[in-house]
């Protein structure tokens, strides 16, 4: 393997460690004819009662280039701080083998395997120092192909029970359950509001109610999924329901934002052709984004294309976030042009103000959940990673509450009782200055 290729591989490993979620469960996987010098399996936050259990079997290492040295292949644990030191060592000596580094916690090498034809190994290792560790496999035999079945269990002992969630994520089941209850109460208030003002209820309000239902169901499934992973190490099928409701929730959220942004039901009973095209772009992209999300969540960083799937998810998410802003801008421009001819300056100004607030609200929500939450995940110490999840859910429920309040089914929501003085003042505002975002 050339030096440039090895350098690229190490950089990708660093990227994988920085972007992989700190969560574990019992994983059984098969490595088939893999020639990567380093493979990241898991990233996990351990307490002082943490344990790493690894079982490998059906091991086969082949090479046509040189004789295999089993001491050059092995599993080890590595902290994020030590990963930087490994990168420095590699820069100083491109031929060094990571299993020789003093900065790793070497678990075992293939020299410890049982002899053929069994070629297997099974052992548990207590964690001496609590920290967040990444579990790696290293192969320093040039041009060699490794095949093996691997089973990993990373957990923390909590009394007589095992906790398969990372130290910073063990609060997630309770967190998601509390937020799911909040959305159930939200649904009740929304139903009451729609019944009280049924003459002002449009189809968009029904879609908004469906969005709340999907969000609540998504959080319930997330809570159950994390609970079973925490207790048993496997999601027991709750992950399937979680991904289904997550897909429906995200598609409905983007659809509701687009429909509100176009003024559907509020300003006009139909969508124009260009607005329909926006929906036809966003929905397939969300299908693609959810496929990428499932691959990321259900496989792990050990697959060869894991970084590619992360990049694809990020790209699609950025495109969708930019796309849903466009209809709001269209509506603001359309209202601005209409204000010059319709003779209803005060009402038009009220609508423009409403849509500008909605534009700012959407931008703020997207910025917080995509940028601020990622920053929190990066800077928060490993045993408080749940704070980023809590911040994201808190931002989401605040966004939902403000959006639903702004476009609630009330006849006077955006069409205030206008007197002559307000009409004249509004005409001056619209005439003297452009209504900018």
Query: How many angstroms separate the CA atoms of 175 and 293, rounded?
Result: 21
Query: How many angstroms separate the CA atoms of 220 and 180, rounded?
Result: 6
**pTM of the predicted structure, to 2 decimals:** 0.85
User: Cis ω on the peptide bond leading into residue 104 (within 30° of 0)?
Assistant: no
The per-residue pLDDT for 18 is: 56
- DSSP string across 8-41: HHHHHHHHHHHHS-S----EEEEEEEE--SEEEE
Of 45, 134, 29, 83, the closest CA to residue 380 belongs to: 45
Tokens of 362: 């959407």
Angle of helix 80-92 versus helix 3-19 axis, rounded to 10:
170
User: Cis ω on the peptide bond leading into residue 282 (within 30° of 0)?
Assistant: no
CB 334 within 8 A of CB 270: no
Q: Is 266 helix (H, G, I), strand (E, B) or coil?
A: coil
- Biggest distance spanned by C-alpha atoms of the chain: 94
Q: Which residues contact 109 (CB under 8 A, 6 or more apart)?
A: 70, 71, 72, 73, 74, 99
- With a pLDDT cut of 90, the percent of the chain lying above it is 43
Of 393, 23, 344, the closest CA to residue 179 belongs to: 393
Query: How many angstroms separate the CA atoms of 306 and 20, rounded?
Result: 9
Of 296, 291, 294, the closest CA to residue 310 belongs to: 296
Q: Quick count: other Cβ atoms within 10 Å of Cβ 93?
A: 9
Tokens of 38: 């380093």
Query: How many angstroms separate the CA atoms of 387 and 394, rounded?
Result: 10
Tokens of 223: 């809570």
Per-residue pLDDT of the chain (437 residues; tens, 9 = 90+): 455 555 555 555 555 555 556 666 788 889 998 888 889 898 999 999 999 999 999 999 998 777 889 999 999 999 988 888 888 888 788 778 889 888 999 999 999 998 877 789 999 999 989 999 999 999 988 888 999 999 999 999 988 899 999 999 999 999 999 999 999 999 999 999 999 988 888 889 999 999 999 999 999 999 999 999 999 999 888 989 999 999 999 999 999 998 888 877 766 666 777 778 888 888 888 888 888 887 777 777 777 777 778 888 888 888 888 888 888 888 777 777 766 555 555 566 677 778 888 889 999 999 999 889 989 988 889 999 999 999 999 999 999 999 999 988 886 554 334 444 444 454 555 555 555 55
* Strand positions, DSSP E, 64-141: 73-79, 105-109, 121-126, 132-139
Of 249, 271, 272, 251, the closest CA to residue 393 belongs to: 249
Domains of the chain: 3-163 (2.60.120), 172-432 (1.20.1070)
């Amino acid at each position: 393997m050339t030096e440039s290729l090895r350098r690229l591989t190490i950089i990708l490993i660093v990227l994988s460690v920085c972007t992989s979620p700190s969560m574990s469960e019992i994983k059984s996987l098969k490595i088939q004819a893999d020639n990567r010098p380093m493979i990241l399996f898991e990233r996990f936050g351990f307490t002082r009662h943490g344990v790493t259990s690894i079982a490998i079997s059906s091991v086969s290492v082949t090479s046509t280039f040189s004789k295999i040295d089993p001491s050059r292949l092995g599993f080890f644990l590595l902290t994020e701080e030590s990963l930087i030191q490994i990168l420095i060592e590699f820069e100083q000596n491109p031929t060094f083998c990571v299993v020789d580094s003093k900065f790793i916690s070497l678990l075992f090498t293939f020299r410890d395997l049982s002899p053929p034809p069994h070629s297997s190994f099974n052992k548990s290792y207590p964690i001496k120092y609590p920290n967040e560790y990444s579990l790696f496999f290293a192969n320093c035999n040039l041009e060699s192909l490794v095949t093996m079945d691997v089973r990993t269990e990373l957990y923390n002992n909590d009394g007589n029970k095992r906790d398969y969630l990372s130290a910073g994520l063990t609060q997630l089941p309770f967190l998601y359950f509390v937020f799911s209850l909040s959305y159930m109460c939200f649904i009740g208030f929304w139903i009451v509001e729609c019944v009280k003002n049924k003459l002002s209820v449009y189809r968009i309000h029904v879609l908004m109610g469906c969005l709340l239902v999907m969000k609540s169901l998504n959080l319930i499934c997330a809570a159950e999924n994390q609970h079973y992973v925490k207790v048993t190490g496997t999601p027991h099928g709750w992950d399937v329901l979680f991904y289904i409701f997550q897909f429906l929730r995200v598609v409905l959220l983007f659809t509701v934002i687009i429909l509100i942004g176009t003024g559907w039901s509020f300003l006009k009973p139909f969508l124009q052709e260009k607005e329909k095209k926006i929906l036809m772009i966003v929905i397939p992209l969300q299908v693609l984004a959810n496929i990428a999300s499932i691959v990321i969540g259900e496989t792990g960083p050990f697959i060869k294309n894991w970084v590619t799937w992360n990049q694809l998810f990020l790209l699609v998410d950025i495109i969708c976030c930019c796309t849903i802003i466009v209809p709001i801008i269209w509506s603001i421009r359309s209202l601005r042009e209409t204000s010059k001819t319709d003779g209803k300056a005060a009402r038009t100004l009220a609508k423009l103000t409403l849509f500008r607030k909605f534009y700012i609200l959407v931008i703020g929500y997207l910025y917080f959940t995509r940028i601020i939450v990622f920053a929190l995940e990066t800077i928060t110490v490993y045993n408080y990673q749940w704070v980023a999840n809590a911040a994201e859910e808190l931002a989401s429920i605040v966004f939902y509450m403000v959006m639903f309040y702004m476009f609630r089914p009330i006849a006077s929501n955006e069409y205030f009782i206008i007197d002559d003085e307000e009409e004249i003042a509004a005409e001056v505002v619209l005439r003297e200055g452009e209504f900018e975002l």
